[in-house]
Amino acid sequence: MGLTSEIVDTLGKYADLGVEEVQFEHFNFTSDEVPEYLANEIAPRVA
């Protein structure tokens, strides 16, 4: 995973190309760290 700004920038580039949905996967089901990070740090910046 990159820095928050890198992820937001990359998602912006995808949006400029017409991408309307991106799915993230994580495989450490014993930790909520990645989903919480995406929900708290990424989603508000790209909504």
Residue extents of the structural domains in the chain: 4-46
Q: What is the pLDDT of residue 44?
A: 96
Contact 27, 16 (CB under 8 A): no
pLDDT in tens, 1-47: 579 999 999 999 999 999 999 999 888 889 999 999 999 999 999 98
Instruction: Write down the pLDDT at residue 31.
Output: 93
4 touches 39 (CB < 8 A): no
What is the pTM (predicted TM-score) of this model? 0.80
